[in-house]
Amino acid sequence: MDVLLQAIAFVLQWQNLAALAGGTVYGIIIGVLPGLGPSAGMALAIPLVMTWHPATALIFMGALYKCSNYGGSLTAILVNTPGDASNAATILDGYPMCQRGMGGVALGLSATSALVGGTIGMICLIYAAPFLADFALEFGPAEYFLTAVLALSLIAAVVQGATIKGLIAAGMGLLLSTVGFDVIAGHLRYTFDWAPVEDGIPLIQALVGLFAVTQALVLAESAASISRLAELSGSFWEGVRTYFRHPLIMVRASLIGLFVGILPGVGQSSAGLLAWADAKRVSKHPETFGEGEPVGVIASETATNSCMPGDLVCTIALGLPGSVGAAVFLGVMIIFGIVPGPLVFMNQPEVIYSLFVALFLTSFLIFIIGMTVARRLAVVTLLPNNVIVPLILVVSLLGSFAIRNEMSDVFISLAFGALGYVMLKGGFTPIPLLLGLVLGEMVETNYHRALLISGGSYSIFYASVICKILILLTILSLVGPYLGPFWKTLTQGEK
């Protein structure tokens, strides 16, 4: 308790508050730019913070990491372009809300989700970090493999509407993730001697193409603005009130986000989609999801925001980053001489708890910023297409280029833009493909690791209780959508 009070006093010093505010604003700007995610933002900011006190630097970086997710949700809602993979779930209902002229409400939901989800996640992190870390240690390669398979099957089943098409899209994503060096033997696969993809298809560039470029092309086809109603209805505060009318979804999504966050490698992209799928499953009106249902935004955004503290548990307590952003954050910690692991809570508690307190305050800052800029930002949905389309393209392709300073990344984004458009024409959505691309390396690595441990025996995949539960959940997620109508047919007879 003393340590926590000391941390609060430390964070309230002016230079740390300034770092907090600076990291918040910078993080939101970074998040808004498709392609420049938290990892790139933190990398760009390292020279800025090198001479700072380690705790102050971590406060800045932590705020940047957390707020970049909120920035990404703004573009996900307003222009159907997630700023990062973690915002992919928000476009499912956030953008349709904008098309119905309810952009302000959606932004209110997003800011409130950041406040509530982030607060719940941080409180759990502060008190439960050691216990959560222990639970994460129960997961071995087989469990991670099955967790990823469960995430893919859940998303395929609920996002696509037809499970089989979702699984096909997920399969495409997993196959694309095998391009490049093989994780086990180091053999080059499917590169056709093209150097830019030897390290695999770059995820951010693919995301920019699948969503930003595709969305720009879709908007270019239409003569209207993003909002079909040519006016804005609903306010930020209506979004806030709507949020608190669904306390159960708030709690469920927070817990899902926290659980996913503590599993290294699964990541925020899975958290948002899993929570969205769960909310749809328990809803009395699942048909409204994907058409601008506020509960969809609440679930996805709350889970994504509560996932980040869980992600930090593994990064700080175990030294296992749960995402690329967490990996860069881990690098920043090490640069400042803070060695992650269970002992960090004993050796440098003032630094770690200062970070926790700062992240707790960041949630409130996000809400205040959202409250002040939401209406102004929502006006973007009324801009004519001849302005918004090139703006999306310039900003997103710039982000794509800036990561590696290579023109080939722009071509990759354009290629994925074409793929995303063709998929939409062919009746497929790109979200399962994106998740397959994100989780592909984790799936393959843990698949091989599990077989190595078991000596080639597949029994390892159903040996533990956790594995059995995951297999059962996967089967239920795949057959669940068909059980309802089948049961109805059995009980009611033929019409």
Partner 1 sequence: MKEKLKLTEVWFKIVLLFVFSGFYILAIPYPQESGQFPQLLAAISLILTLAALAADFLRAQVTAGEIGDVDDTELKVVDTATRNVRRRRFYQAWAILLVSTGVGYLGGFLFSTVLLFGGFGLAFGRRENLVKNMIVAVAMTVVVYFIFGRIMAVPLLNGVLW
Instruction: Quote the least distance from Cβ 164 to partner 1, whole Å.
Output: 5
- Of 3, 228, 251, 339, the residue at the interface with partner 1 (CB under 8 A) is 228
In angstroms, how far apart are the furthest CA atoms of the chain?
Answer: 75
Torsion 278-282-287-291 (CA) sign: negative
- Of 329, 353, 360, 401, the residue at the interface with partner 1 (CB under 8 A) is 401
Half-sphere exposure at residue 143, Cβ-oriented, CA atoms within 13 angstroms: 14
By CB under 8 A, tell whether 211 contacts partner 1.
no
Q: Distance between CA atoms of 86 and 273, rounded to whole angstroms?
A: 9
Mark the segment that binds partner 1 (CB under 8 A) among 231-239, 338-346, 379-387, 481-489: 379-387
- Of 161, 341, 427, 484, the residue at the interface with partner 1 (CB under 8 A) is 427
Tokens of 470: 């995951």
By CB under 8 A, tell whether 178 contacts partner 1.
yes
Instruction: Quote the least distance from Cβ 104 to partner 1, whole Å.
Output: 19
- Of 175, 382, 415, 463, the residue at the interface with partner 1 (CB under 8 A) is 175
- Of 386, 468, 475, 479, the residue at the interface with partner 1 (CB under 8 A) is 386
Instruction: Quote the least distance from Cβ 239 to partner 1, whole Å.
Output: 21
By CB under 8 A, tell whether 193 contacts partner 1.
no
Binding residues among 13-32 for partner 1 as defined by CB under 8 A: 29
Q: Compose the 68-107 pattern: x for residues touching partner 1 by CB under 8 A, - for all others.
A: ----------------------------x--x--------
By CB under 8 A, tell whether 425 contacts partner 1.
yes
For partner 1, the closer of residues 6 and 178 by Cβ is 178
For partner 1, the closer of residues 187 and 284 by Cβ is 187
Q: Compose the 258-297 pattern: x for residues touching partner 1 by CB under 8 A, - for all others.
A: ----------------------------------------
Q: Distance between CA atoms of 6 and 11, rounded to whole angstroms?
A: 9
Q: Distance between CA atoms of 482 and 495, rounded to whole angstroms?
A: 18
Q: Distance between CA atoms of 214 and 389, rounded to whole angstroms?
A: 10
By CB under 8 A, tell whether 376 contacts partner 1.
no
By CB under 8 A, tell whether 229 contacts partner 1.
no
- Of 320, 421, 435, 449, the residue at the interface with partner 1 (CB under 8 A) is 421
Instruction: Quote the least distance from Cβ 338 to partner 1, whole Å.
Output: 26
What burial class does residue 164 get, using C-beta atoms within 10 Å of its C-beta: 0-12 exposed, 13-18 middle, 19+ buried? exposed
Instruction: Quote the least distance from Cβ 376 to partner 1, whole Å.
Output: 16
By CB under 8 A, tell whether 50 contacts partner 1.
no
By CB under 8 A, tell whether 485 contacts partner 1.
no
- Of 5, 390, 453, 469, the residue at the interface with partner 1 (CB under 8 A) is 390
Instruction: Quote the least distance from Cβ 343 to partner 1, whole Å.
Output: 37
SS (H, E, C) the chain: CHHHHHHHHHHCCHHHHHHHHHHHHHHHHHHHCCCCCHHHHHHHHHHHHCCCCHHHHHHHHHHHHHHHHHHHHHHHHHHCCCCCHHHCCHHHHHHHHHHCCCHHHHHHHHHHHHHHHHHHHHHHHHHHHHHHHHHHHCCCHHHHHHHHHHHHHHHHHHHCCCHHHHHHHHHHHHHHCCCEECCCCCCEECCCCCHHHCCCCCHHHHHHHHHHHHHHHHHHHCCCCCCCCCCCCCCHHHHHHHHHCCHHHHHHHHHHHHHHHCCCCCCHHHHHHHHHHHHHHHCCCHHHCCCCCHHHHHHHHHHHHHHHHHHHHHHHHHCCCCCHHHHHHHHHHHHCCCCCCCCHHHHCHHHHHHHHHHHHHHHHHHHHHHHHHHHHHHHHHHCCHHHHHHHHHHHHHHHHHHHHCCHHHHHHHHHHHHHHHHHHHCCCCCHHHHHHHHHHHHHHHHHHHHHHHHCCCHHHHHCCHHHHHHHHHHHHHHHHHHHHHHHHHHHHCCC
By CB under 8 A, tell whether 495 contacts partner 1.
no
By CB under 8 A, tell whether 428 contacts partner 1.
yes
Q: Distance between CA atoms of 493 and 305, rounded to whole angstroms?
A: 46
By CB under 8 A, tell whether 407 contacts partner 1.
yes
- Of 174, 275, 377, 433, the residue at the interface with partner 1 (CB under 8 A) is 174
Q: Compose the 442-471 pattern: x for residues touching partner 1 by CB under 8 A, - for all others.
A: --x--xx-----------------------
- Of 42, 64, 92, 167, the residue at the interface with partner 1 (CB under 8 A) is 167
- Of 126, 128, 398, 415, the residue at the interface with partner 1 (CB under 8 A) is 398
Number of residues this chain uses to bind partner 1 (CB under 8 A): 60
Termini Cα distance of the chain: 66
- Of 184, 334, 343, 475, the residue at the interface with partner 1 (CB under 8 A) is 184
Mark the segment that binds partner 1 (CB under 8 A) among 73-81, 183-191, 201-209, 458-466: 183-191
Interface residue list for partner 1 (CB under 8 A): 29, 36, 44, 96, 99, 162, 164-165, 167-168, 171-172, 174-175, 178, 182, 184-185, 187, 189-190, 216-218, 220-223, 228, 384-387, 389-391, 393-395, 397-399, 401-402, 405, 407, 410-411, 414, 421-428, 444, 447-448
